[in-house]
């Protein structure tokens, strides 16, 4: 399987840069999720990799093969879209076999073997003779995935394949995707604006913002060590808390949410902010070492049943996510602790690499 190498790839529409000077490598045999808000350029980038869109500038290679100006049919890519084109009057197996039969190099027996394999991996064997028109959206989308993987192309591209699928079918589709990954190791680019999907499926997430990749990293690295405030904000539900310093004296920096001053790190020459995720804020009923008093402004329940607390700490506002419990009363005083290993510092919106430490 080849890797996918993008070199200074841009796509402009009129004066608008939909994709802006991207240079990166998506490693062979891995799943990269392109994640980012609506309009950030995910589909445009994917369409250029597919050959459905030509870059205004830059080059795209699959391994050493320059595909920048090759049509889709010559690239050895398979695609699954949000609204896949299916032959509604044909059966499931016929839909999967049709593109394979066009490949003269494949014997009828091989076509059948591959179709059977994907039906089994995607747990579609019971549906093999049903007509596409009789299936629900989720199952139809599974067939589209099967049709793409059966071609055994070097590269498979997915553009938001679960967006129109109801939530349970979506989970089934994600499970099927993971099952097929365990068996076949094609290089996959998967576009989504759903961070949970990206966290679940990706070997690495390429987080996009305004036509650029702001960070490309494994999901847990992206979550724990976002390189920018944008990454901290975009990932998480809700995203990271950001706090401005209360004061800066010499080599000491104070924040309302920390009981002790921290050392001013190297490179802290711009506008500083502290980042901490809501689930990393410890909330205690009693005073404790390293904890500061906070007032509960509001509490609400998240989808997982956890409590989301809005807190006032000094003059700062902070969100904390705590395990399911009796909702604490608004106005109540609690004590919060932000452990330094979970704290990150941003300088003009970009994370400072040095670990955050207490001032001497
Ligand atoms: N053919 C086109 N002509 C003009 N503008 C375009 C064209 N295709 C895309 N754009 C613009 O480029 C930007 C990026 O679009 P794109 O579809 O790549 O975003 P996206 O990240 O896939 O968004 P979404 O999450 O909504 O699917 C958008 O502002 C869009 O309006
Ligand atoms: Mg899109």
State residue 83's pLDDT score.
82
- Give the span between the Cα atoms of 274 and 205, in whole angstroms: 23
Residue 282 resides in a domain: yes
Name the pTM for this structure. Answer: 0.92
Measured by CA distance, the residue closest to atom 2 of ligand 1 is 13
* Residue 62 CA neighbour count, 13 Å, CB half: 24
CA of 331 to the centre of ligand 2 (A): 43
Ligand 1 atom closest to the Cα of residue 45 is 18
Ligand 1 atom closest to the Cα of residue 40 is 21
- Give the span between the Cα atoms of 230 and 207, in whole angstroms: 9
User: Are 197 and 262 contained in the same domain?
Assistant: no
User: Are 222 and 274 contained in the same domain?
Assistant: no
- Give the span between the Cα atoms of 276 and 240, in whole angstroms: 5
30 lines ligand 1 (CB under 6 A): no
User: Are 144 and 280 contained in the same domain?
Assistant: no
Q: Are the C-beta atoms of 22 and 214 separated by less than 8 Å?
A: no
CA of 208 to the centre of ligand 2 (A): 12
Ligand 1 atom closest to the Cα of residue 41 is 18
Measured by CA distance, the residue closest to atom 16 of ligand 1 is 41
244 contacts: CB under 8 Å, gap ≥ 6: 272, 273, 274, 316
Ligand 1 atom closest to the Cα of residue 47 is 18
- Give the span between the Cα atoms of 111 and 117, in whole angstroms: 10
Peptide bond before 133: cis, by omega within 30 degrees of 0? no
Q: Are the C-beta atoms of 67 and 60 separated by less than 8 Å?
A: yes
Residue 358 resides in a domain: no
User: Are 93 and 21 contained in the same domain?
Assistant: yes
User: Are 164 and 262 contained in the same domain?
Assistant: no
Compute φ and ψ for 222, nearest 5 degrees: -60, -40
Three-state SS sequence of 272-324: EEEEECHHHEEEECCCCCCCEEEEEEEEEECCCCCEEEEEEECCEEEEEEECC
CA of 20 to the centre of ligand 1 (A): 13
CA of 175 to the centre of ligand 2 (A): 22
User: Are 156 and 246 contained in the same domain?
Assistant: no
Largest CA distance in the chain: 77
17 lines ligand 1 (CB under 6 A): no
User: Are 225 and 285 contained in the same domain?
Assistant: no
Q: Which residue in this structure is represented by tokens 């509960």?
A: 296
For the chain, the domain total comes to 2
Residue 359 resides in a domain: no
- Give the span between the Cα atoms of 254 and 338, in whole angstroms: 13
H-state helical runs in 51-107:
92-101
Q: Are the C-beta atoms of 349 and 229 separated by less than 8 Å?
A: yes
Measured by CA distance, the residue closest to atom 5 of ligand 1 is 13
End-to-end CA gap in the chain: 52
CATH code, domain with 251: 2.40.50.140
15 lines ligand 1 (CB under 6 A): no
- Give the span between the Cα atoms of 207 and 345, in whole angstroms: 19
State residue 185's pLDDT score.
80
State residue 346's pLDDT score.
98
* Ligand 1 pocket test target in 14, 15, 18, 208 with most atoms within 8 Å of CB: 18
CA of 23 to the centre of ligand 2 (A): 20
CA of 237 to the centre of ligand 2 (A): 21
- Give the span between the Cα atoms of 90 and 82, in whole angstroms: 20
Residue 207 resides in a domain: yes
322 contacts: CB under 8 Å, gap ≥ 6: 283, 306, 307, 309
User: Are 264 and 194 contained in the same domain?
Assistant: no
User: Are 214 and 293 contained in the same domain?
Assistant: no
Q: Are the C-beta atoms of 122 and 179 separated by less than 8 Å?
A: yes
State residue 79's pLDDT score.
92
State residue 171's pLDDT score.
87
> pLDDT digits over 264-302, tens only?
999 999 999 999 999 999 999 999 999 999 999 999 988
Sites in the chain below the pLDDT cut of 50: none
Ligand 1 atom closest to the Cα of residue 34 is 21
Query: Judging by DSSP bridges, how do beta strands 187-192 and 155-159 pair with one another?
Result: parallel
Q: Are the C-beta atoms of 320 and 281 separated by less than 8 Å?
A: yes
User: Are 185 and 60 contained in the same domain?
Assistant: yes
Measured by CA distance, the residue closest to atom 29 of ligand 1 is 39
* Residue 305 CA neighbour count, 13 Å, CB half: 4
192 lines ligand 1 (CB under 6 A): no
Tokens encoding 30: 């891995």
CA of 48 to the centre of ligand 2 (A): 13
Q: Are the C-beta atoms of 170 and 158 separated by less than 8 Å?
A: no
Residues with CB under 5 A from ligand 2 (ion): 43
Residues in the chain: 360
Ligand 1 atom closest to the Cα of residue 11 is 12
83 lines ligand 1 (CB under 6 A): no
Among candidates 42, 47, 7, 10, which has minimal Cα distance to 25? 7
214 lines ligand 1 (CB under 6 A): no
Tokens encoding 36: 């980012």
Q: Give the domain range for residue 267.
A: 241-351
CATH code, domain with 206: 3.40.50.300
């Amino acid at each position: 399987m080849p890797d996918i190498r993008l070199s200074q790839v841009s796509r402009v529409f009129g004066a608008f840069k939909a994709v802006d000077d991207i240079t990166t490598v998506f490693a062979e045999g891995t799943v990269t999720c392109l994640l980012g808000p609506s309009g950030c350029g995910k589909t445009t980038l994917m369409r250029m990799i597919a050959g459905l869109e030509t870059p205004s500038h830059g080059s795209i290679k699959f391994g050493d093969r320059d595909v920048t100006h090759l049509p889709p049919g010559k690239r050895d890519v398979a695609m699954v879209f949000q609204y896949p084109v299916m032959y509604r009057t044909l059966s499931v197996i016929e839909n999967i076999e049709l593109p394979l039969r066009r490949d003269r190099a494949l014997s009828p027996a091989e076509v059948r073997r591959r179709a059977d394999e994907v039906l089994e991996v995607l747990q579609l064997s019971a549906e093999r003779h049903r007509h596409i028109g009789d299936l629900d959206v989720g199952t139809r989308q599974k067939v589209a995935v099967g049709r793409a993987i059966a071609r055994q192309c070097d590269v498979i591209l997915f553009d938001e394949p679960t967006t129109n699928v109801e939530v349970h079918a979506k989970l089934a589709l994600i499970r099927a995707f993971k099952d097929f990954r365990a068996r076949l190791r094609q290089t996959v680019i998967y576009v989504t604006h759903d961070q949970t999907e990206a966290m679940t499926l990706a070997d690495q997430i390429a987080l996009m913002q305004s036509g650029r990749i702001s960070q490309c990293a494994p999901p847990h690295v992206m979550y724990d060590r976002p390189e920018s405030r944008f990454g901290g904000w975009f990932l998480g539900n809700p995203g990271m808390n950001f706090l401005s310093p209360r004061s800066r004296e010499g080599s000491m920096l104070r924040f309302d949410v920390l009981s002790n001053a921290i050392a001013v790190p190297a490179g802290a020459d711009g506008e500083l902010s502290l980042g901490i995720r809501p689930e990393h804020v410890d909330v205690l009923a009693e005073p404790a070492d390293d904890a500061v008093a906070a007032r509960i402004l509001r509490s609400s329940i998240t989808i997982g049943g956890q409590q989301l607390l809005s807190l006032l700490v000094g003059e700062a506002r902070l969100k904390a996510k705590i395990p399911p419990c009796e909702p604490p009363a608004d106005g109540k005083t609690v004590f919060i602790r932000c452990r330094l290993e979970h704290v990150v510092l941003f300088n003009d919106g970009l994370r400072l690499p040095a670990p955050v430490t207490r001032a001497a």
